[in-house]
Amino acid sequence: MVGTQLKWDGYATAWARLHGGFDPRVAAPVVRAWLRFAYHVGYILGRLRVTPTAVTVGGVLLCFCVPLFAVRGVDGPIVAALFVLLAAVADSVDGAVAVVTGRTTRLGYVYDSIADRLGEVAWLIAFWLVGAPGALVVASGALSWLHEYVRARAVAAGMREIGVVTVGERPTRVCVALVGLLLAGLTGMIDPDLAAGTVTMAVAVWVLLAGFGLGQLLSTVRRALVTAG
């Protein structure tokens, strides 16, 4: 497999084919830079014969560290935010390793989706442990789960593409978890009671974006399936 690894252009073409035709070469500069970073790391890991599954499992373990460290001292949320960042890198890199080494499989796609949901549960538990209301945490998780469920069912019903990139996608959740925990740690250093308020605001933002994103997706799915039907 090592000798057949894809260069950037071939990787971008293969990646686009797996992501509804979205070409990373014409993405926004920040997105393009992130995907190129994931490609280079994936290329190196591919040469080292690290499997995509190993990276996925590593990412899940990093996510599980988030709630464990979030409540360890005043700076715990900051450490937890670092684990969210590392997990986000692993989440991008596992797919990059699979594409670069030609190991993309349908089963791997399912495992990756399960890993993403487990990771998000871990982040939301961290928010709850730091002080966010349980009902708000459950609502944010439920809306995000519905977002992914609706897309999966729409594809099964005949929608050929991802539909629409909404404001409630996985990268948004990563950003909310990362920034929310980081700010909770910083404000908690000033006044521990502020940390709970900060994560509550972060979860509220998660709920708003997830709800709006779900509305976007439902509207797009309706148009796509009515047209197809």
Active site residues: 116
Q: Are 50 and 97 in contact (CB under 8 A)?
A: yes
Cα 88 to Cα 78: distance, rounded to the nearest angstrom: 15
The tokens describing 92, both together, are 């991008």
**Cα torsion angle, 105, 114, 199, 65, sign:** negative
The tokens describing 184, both together, are 């909770």
Per-residue H/E/C for 50-89: CCHHHHHHHHHHHHHHHHHHHCCCCCHHHHHHHHHHHHHH
* Size of the chain, expressed as the number of residues it contains: 229
